[in-house]
């Protein structure tokens, strides 16, 4: 009996192998004669310890802090011989067990909805059939360059169709995609290319100055493929082969490679590296596939959602949405630059149903000019991460036609892994109680097996409402840090992923962040939560953004220093007025001792760069 690959099934054709050869079906292995099976069984039994030493039932749980056993956490152990009658002669085989991967979602969407629009980019529209074919062309062209399992292909791209194709075409060869942060400098990019071992770099000419400088720092620079955006051409220098020419040499019916194991790596993402070298976070196919269902449920995504790309696709692989949207055959609306006018235009013209991002995107929408605004009939779900927006912001967004879903996560958990599941009865609460519920990060994602607030020393749950460290456990936790065994062991100590975030868990199981462990301000022996002070500052109507960091102090050790970005037209506000406002909401020792006005430094995803502010605070006299 011949076996047909998933790639071939979607088109009804038998595809070609990775090197262009016709795929050859393998015959199932012939059964061994009973006499050999029996003798093998005896030989196996002879090597086993006495029967009395074999524990009944499944193998005992491992103590996670032992070094030899910590290493086992990163592999799937072979299954012991089961005594369960439902396991006898009921083993796994190709018919009943296939590794999970998000790649099959695109194959299915192309088969079921071939003519449905998958991607909108400017005037360009791409159907699912063409999206799938182009991804397979890319995989075929990469394979012809020798790319295979164990290799890395990097991408320095804006939110364009090429980035969506890279999310599929690269892992279709068995290789790993490293989506690079386009806002980083040449030194950081060079480090990531070298550390990640990229053999090919797909780059946009918009970033050619940085890319060229990064390549000059490498002893063995990767092959460069230039994606020249046909809708928004860039004037940057071309550094390698043309992307479309490269794809033209690929096979649209390429018989792409399923992962041999769902634990196989699919992506490599680097952390921000604010306290040293960035760490490489490795995602596996299983986690990326399970995020598909979790994201659909958390974002209330029905059939054929329309997602506007306000979130950078390089950030946690766009929370896995480049893969996940195919689960519901949704439409990607690419957005090369995040601008209020362009967002409103897409909402009105393309029927956008969902968008994601940080509160800075919400601020841009609320503060858009009349010429930028457009009306749209549909309600739009905005999945917002980072700090919970102030109540005034939430109210303004609701009036503008947006429903807010508050999520929380980290790079190490594929992006969002916690969602503030809203209860209808909370709508009737008074404003103060409703705001208190909105400020919470929420409960675990569907694909996350456990979420706890633990004492990091004892690894025991802390009492409800007591400060502890937020920890994760489940299938949407990373494989670990690439080429960094020590950091991997440390972050998984005790069998949990240590987030470094401090928070509380309430009686109903909802968590609320209070601070990063490194952001706690210790003043005169008292702990001050920077988030608590920031929340008080955000209540002032003149404050657009606020960040609080520790400023060294000879007497108190540290004191709170507030950096504030004001709304337009609020330049007359004074530091004294801000401190007086805080006095109404905070204990005296928590009040900011210094207030600095000005634009706050932010990452490309809208997060405030506190490490920059800490250095500024040290310079204040």
| Domains of the chain listed by start with CATH number | 520-619 (3.30.300.30)
pLDDT of 76 = 47
Q: Provide the pLDDT confidence category of residue 276 given band limits of 50, 70 and 90.
A: low
- Rounded to 5°, the CA angle 454-451-421 comes to 130
Q: Provide the pLDDT confidence category of residue 555 given band limits of 50, 70 and 90.
A: confident
pLDDT of 588 = 85
H/E stretch holding 494: none
pLDDT of 39 = 44
pLDDT of 79 = 61
pLDDT of 316 = 95
What is the pTM for the complete model shown? 0.78
Buried b (16+ CB within 10 A) or exposed e, 382-415: bbbbbbbbbbebbebbeebebebbbbbbbbbbbb
* Contact (CB, 8 A) for 107 and 135: no
Q: Provide the pLDDT confidence category of residue 48 given band limits of 50, 70 and 90.
A: very low
Q: What is the mean pLDDT of residues 222-251?
A: 96
pLDDT of 63 = 38
pLDDT of 605 = 64
* 92: its two tokens: 């796994």
* Contact (CB, 8 A) for 180 and 189: yes
Which residues on adjacent β-strands are paired with residue 528? 521
pLDDT of 542 = 93
- What's the rounded Cα separation, in Å, for the pair 408 and 118? 27
Q: Give the range among 16-20, 200-204, 337-341, 443-447 with minimum mean pLDDT.
A: 16-20
- What's the rounded Cα separation, in Å, for the pair 482 and 282? 6
- What's the rounded Cα separation, in Å, for the pair 497 and 517? 15
Q: What is the mean pLDDT of residues 477-504?
A: 96
* Contact (CB, 8 A) for 546 and 537: yes
What is the side-by-side order of every strand in the sheet holding 415-419? 124-127, 117-121, 331-333, 306-308, 354-357, 380-384, 402-410, 415-419, 443-444
pLDDT of 394 = 82
Q: Provide the pLDDT confidence category of residue 525 given band limits of 50, 70 and 90.
A: low
Q: What sign does the CA torsion over 29, 34, 39, 40 have? A: positive
State the burial class of residue 612 (Cβ atoms within 10 Å of its Cβ: 0-12, 13-18, 19+).
middle
State the burial class of residue 418 (Cβ atoms within 10 Å of its Cβ: 0-12, 13-18, 19+).
buried
Does the pLDDT at position 50 exceed 50? no
H/E stretch holding 353: none
């Amino acid at each position: 009996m011949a076996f047909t690959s998933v790639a071939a099934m979607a088109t009804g054709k038998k595809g070609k192998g990775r090197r262009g050869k016709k795929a050859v079906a393998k015959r199932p292995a012939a059964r061994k004669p009973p006499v050999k099976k029996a003798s093998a069984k005896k030989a196996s039994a002879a090597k086993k310890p006495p029967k009395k030493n074999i524990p009944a039932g499944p193998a005992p749980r491992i103590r996670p802090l032992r070094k030899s056993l910590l290493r086992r956490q990163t592999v799937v152990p072979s299954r012991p011989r089961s005594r369960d009658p439902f396991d006898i002669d009921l083993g796994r085989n190709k018919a009943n067990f296939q590794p999970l991967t998000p790649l099959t979602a695109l194959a299915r969407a192309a088969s079921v909805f071939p003519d449905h629009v998958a991607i909108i980019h400017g005037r360009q529209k791409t159907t699912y059939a063409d999206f799938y074919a182009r991804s397979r062309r890319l995989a075929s062209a990469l394979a012809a360059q020798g790319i295979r399992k164990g290799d890395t292909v990097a991408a320095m791209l804006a939110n364009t169709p090429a980035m969506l194709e890279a999310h599929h075409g690269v892992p279709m060869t068995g290789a790993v995609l490293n989506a690079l942060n386009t806002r980083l400098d040449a030194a950081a990019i060079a480090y990531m290319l070298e550390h990640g071992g990229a053999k090919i770099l797909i780059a946009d000419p918009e970033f050619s100055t940085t890319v060229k400088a990064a390549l000059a720092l490498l002893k063995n620079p990767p092959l460069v493929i230039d994606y020249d955006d046909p809708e928004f051409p860039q004037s940057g220098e071309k550094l390698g082969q043309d992307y479309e020419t490269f794809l033209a040499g690929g096979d649209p019916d390429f018989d792409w490679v399923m992962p041999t194991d769902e634990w196989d790596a699919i992506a490599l993402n680097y952390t921000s590296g604010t306290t040293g070298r960035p760490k490489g976070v490795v995602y596996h196919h299983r986690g990326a596939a399970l995020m598909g269902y979790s994201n659909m449920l958390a974002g209330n995504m029905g059939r054929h959602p329309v997602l506007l790309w306000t979130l950078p696709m390089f950030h946690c692989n766009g929370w896995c949405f480049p893969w996940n949207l195919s689960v519901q055959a949704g439409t990607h609306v690419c957005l090369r630059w995040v601008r209020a006018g362009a967002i409103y235009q897409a909402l009105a013209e393309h029927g956008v149903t969902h968008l994601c991002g940080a509160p800075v995107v919400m601020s841009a929408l609320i503060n858009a000019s009349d010429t930028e605004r457009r009306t749209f009939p549909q309600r739009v779900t905005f999945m917002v991460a980072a700090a919970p927006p102030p109540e005034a912001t939430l109210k303004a967004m609701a009036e503008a036609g947006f429903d807010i879903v508050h999520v929380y996560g980290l790079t190490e958990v594929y992006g969002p892994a916690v969602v503030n599941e809203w209860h209808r009865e909370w709508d009737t609460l008074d404003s103060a109680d409703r705001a208190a519920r909105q400020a919470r990060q929420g409960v675990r994602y569907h694909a996350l097996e456990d979420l706890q607030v633990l004492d990091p020393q004892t690894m025991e749950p802390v009492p409800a409402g007591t400060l502890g460290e937020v920890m994760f456990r489940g299938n949407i936790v990373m494989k670990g840090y690439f080429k960094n065994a020590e950091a991997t062991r440390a972050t998984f100590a005790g069998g949990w992923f240590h987030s470094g975030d401090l928070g509380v868990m309430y009686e109903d199981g909802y968590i609320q962040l209070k601070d990063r462990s490194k952001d706690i301000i210790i003043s005169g022996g008292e702990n001050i939560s920077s988030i608590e002070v920031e929340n008080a500052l955000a209540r002032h109507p003149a404050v657009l953004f606020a960040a609080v960091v520790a400023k060294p102090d000879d007497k108190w050790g540290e004191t709170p220093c507030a950096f504030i970005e004001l709304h337009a037209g609020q330049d007359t506000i004074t530091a004294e007025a801000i401190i007086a406002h805080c006095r109404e909401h905070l204990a005296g020792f928590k009040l900011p001792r210094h207030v600095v006005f000005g634009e706050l430094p932010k990452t490309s995803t809208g997060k405030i760069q506190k490490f920059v502010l800490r250095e500024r605070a040290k310079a204040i006299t």
